[in-house]
Amino acid sequence: AHVAAPMGPDGPELERQVQQDTPLYFRSAGGHTTYFGAAIMPNTEEAGVPDPDGYVYIYGLQQDGGTKLVAARERAGDLGRIECWRYWNGREWTERKEDCAPIVPDVSCELSVSPMVGGFLHGKYVIVCQLGGITGNCVAVYWGDSPVGPFGPCVPLHYCSEPEEGKGIYAYNAKGHPHLSPAGELLVSYNVNTTSMDAHMAHAGIYRPRFVRIRQIS
C-alpha cells in the first residue's frame, strides 16, 4: 500500500492520510515473485549526497532461487505517482516493471543503500544487508558506481555472535545510517530478537539493536 499525508507546521498531519493499493507486488517476465519497498534512497541535493540526480530510488526483492535486489526510481516530487516509476532492466530504465532485472544476487529482506561521503569509497553506493536470510548471522556490504551498480562482490564484515547463546535468539535487519555517520564511516545497525517469550521475560536486553561502525582504512 501507498500511504501519504500532508505536512503541517508540526509534522505530518496523520488524520488526513490517504492509503491506496499499489501494483508493486507482481510476477516478473521470468515468472519470479517481485515486490518493492525493501529500501528507499533519496539521491537529491536535499539529502546532501555527493552526486545528486534528483531521483528517489526504491529497491525491491525478487525471489529467484534466492533473494535478489531490483530497483526503480522517480523524481522526488512525483514519488506518489507510481504509474510514472521507471524500472531498471539491466541496461536502461523502462516503464515495464515486469522487466526489472537483479542488480545483486543475494540480499536480506531488509537492507539499505547509501551514498558514501569521504574515504576511498567517496561517491560510491554501499548496500548493507545480512547474508543467509532471516537466520543469517553475517552483516555484509556491496559497493558500486551508481545506485544500480555495477556492484562488486559481496564483502562479509561482521559476524553476529548473539545467536550462539541459544534461547531461540536470531539476528536480522542489518542496515546503514549515513545521517549518523561522519565522513569516511558508515554506522550500521542490526536487530536481535528471540522466538522464546520465556527468554524475553528473563533477559530484557535481548530485544534491542546492536551497532557496528564501519571505518574505511586505505
User: What's the pLDDT at 136?
Assistant: 82
> In the 8-state DSSP scheme, what is residue 76?
G
The CB density around residue 54, as the number of other CB atoms within 10 Å, is 14
- Check pLDDT > 80 for residue 130: yes
User: What's the pLDDT at 23?
Assistant: 94
Q: What angle do CA 106, 22, 31 make, to 5 degrees?
A: 45
User: What's the pLDDT at 54?
Assistant: 96
Q: What CA–CA distance (Å, rounded) separates 112 from 42?
A: 11
Average pLDDT, the chain: 94
Q: What CA–CA distance (Å, rounded) separates 89 from 146?
A: 15
Q: What CA–CA distance (Å, rounded) separates 165 from 170?
A: 10
The 3-state DSSP class for residue 177 equals: strand
- Check pLDDT > 80 for residue 99: yes
User: Cell numbers at residue 170, please?
Assistant: 536470531
Question: Where residue 10 falls among pLDDT bands split at 50, 70, 90?
Answer: very high
User: Cell numbers at residue 154, please?
Assistant: 559481496
The CB density around residue 4, as the number of other CB atoms within 10 Å, is 12
Q: How far from the centroid of its chain's Cα atoms is residue 180's Cα?
A: 16
Q: How far is CA 177 from CA 48, 89, 116, 127, 183, in A?
A: 14, 28, 11, 11, 12
- Check pLDDT > 80 for residue 154: yes
Q: What is the mean pLDDT of residues 133-145?
A: 89
- Check pLDDT > 90 for residue 2: no
pTM: 0.92
User: What's the pLDDT at 115?
Assistant: 96
- C-beta separation of 154 from 106 below 8 A: yes
Q: What is the pLDDT of residues 183-211, one digit of tens each?
A: 999 999 999 999 999 999 999 899 999 99
Q: What is the mean pLDDT of residues 148-155?
A: 97
Question: Where residue 218 falls among pLDDT bands split at 50, 70, 90?
Answer: low
- Check pLDDT > 90 for residue 26: yes
Instruction: Report which secondary-structure segment, H or E, holds 169.
Output: strand 169-177
Q: What CA–CA distance (Å, rounded) separates 30 from 70?
A: 14
Q: What is the mean pLDDT of residues 44-52?
A: 93
The set of residues, in sequence order, having a beta carbon less than 8 Å from that of 106 and lying 6+ positions away, is 66, 67, 68, 129, 131, 154
- Check pLDDT > 90 for residue 35: yes
Q: What is the pLDDT of residues 65-84, one digit of tens each?
A: 889 999 999 999 898 899 99
User: What's the pLDDT at 1?
Assistant: 82
Q: What is the mean pLDDT of residues 39-65?
A: 95
Q: Report strand pairing: 208-215 vs 185-194.
A: antiparallel
User: What's the pLDDT at 155?
Assistant: 96
Q: What CA–CA distance (Å, rounded) separates 179 from 112?
A: 12
User: What's the pLDDT at 91?
Assistant: 97
User: What's the pLDDT at 183?
Assistant: 94
> In the 8-state DSSP scheme, what is residue 151?
B
